[in-house]
Structure 1
């Protein structure tokens, strides 16, 4: 990143041009939520065109652009496994972001929308996801996923205070300076919230509570441009975006 800023300053001078270049960033919302970026290093830039957009939405755009705009190379980019290339690629091993984070980008996209749009904390997010994922995950498994997310979210929230200014294109941005003003120091153990989740897991017992999976006809709203996750337990069970 230091080299990028140096080139942005010197290249115009080398070519006898006035001014300087801007350094563009490439981190996305999901990496910011988890904190899967290095403060003052790979996350630093002058402006980030995709900084307020989730990985899932970016991939959806790449698929659309490959078909409708004729840029076939974008389909190859979309299909490539996400990797920060932190380790040398070998014949039998390739470093993958989702393995390092312990969660998928699809899950992070859901967490981010629930956290920002529905203003969910650990307990209310757990309730929402029990409704959405209940047909394939037990309440205990849902609780473990929510705890894992909020652990790393709270540990790394301080990174959002120096996040590169981004093109504001969505309502789920975690950027702390303008669009998501909230505290950045948390107790990463979340003692009250996690204890309450453990109590709810015991009450639900998985096998006795009818927990639903999003119906196929609703998946386009959930995974597409809009947010279709039902706000279970938040007043109106039919509410969504």
Structure 2
């Protein structure tokens, strides 16, 4: 960030007007380096994590940058003071109290506990499914990512998809599923590969809306129950 003399002067004036000791105003930036300034920034980060969650892509890099700034200037205060751990603990306590989880993608406060064991159907279809899946705990008819299936279930989905006339087909290329579509599905025909993730599961969730399986219960076969148990082992290991 560029600190023009005018900006430094204005920040310094604001600090002085707020009662900050001149010795706690950083030369060259005009920033407040007082204990009150540290506690205010720390509290702001913890409050943000508490309410909104925290992930690798967005929150963590910015928090580390802020923490490093203070660690360079006030190491006696940052030593042993883990803003992230404190914020995540408060985040879990807050959301556990609501009986829900946050909607932050890949939130570090929840990890895999955010995944639920589910039986899902293709929304609007009474025939496609049910399919055992690991799903986000919060979803309603979503077309977003996060629905993960075993190879056996992925094979069932591919078979059922190819039996329909959606303009979308799938075929196996070794361990990879190749989804292909024509102009009746998307204006521009194309294809995309879905490879297994580190758990050997397939995220086949961004192609159509899903719905919870609501019965009849006789369609829940021993094979489906075994697949759910396999997913439980993967989720909890």
Same topology, TM > 0.5? no
Which protein, 1 or 2, shows the higher relative CO under an 8 Å CA cutoff with sep ≥ 6? Answer: 1
Greater fraction helix: 1
- Please say which structure displays the higher CA radius of gyration: 2
Looking at secondary structure, tell me which structure has more strand per residue.
2
TM interval, short-chain normalised: under 0.3
TM-score (norm 2): 0.24
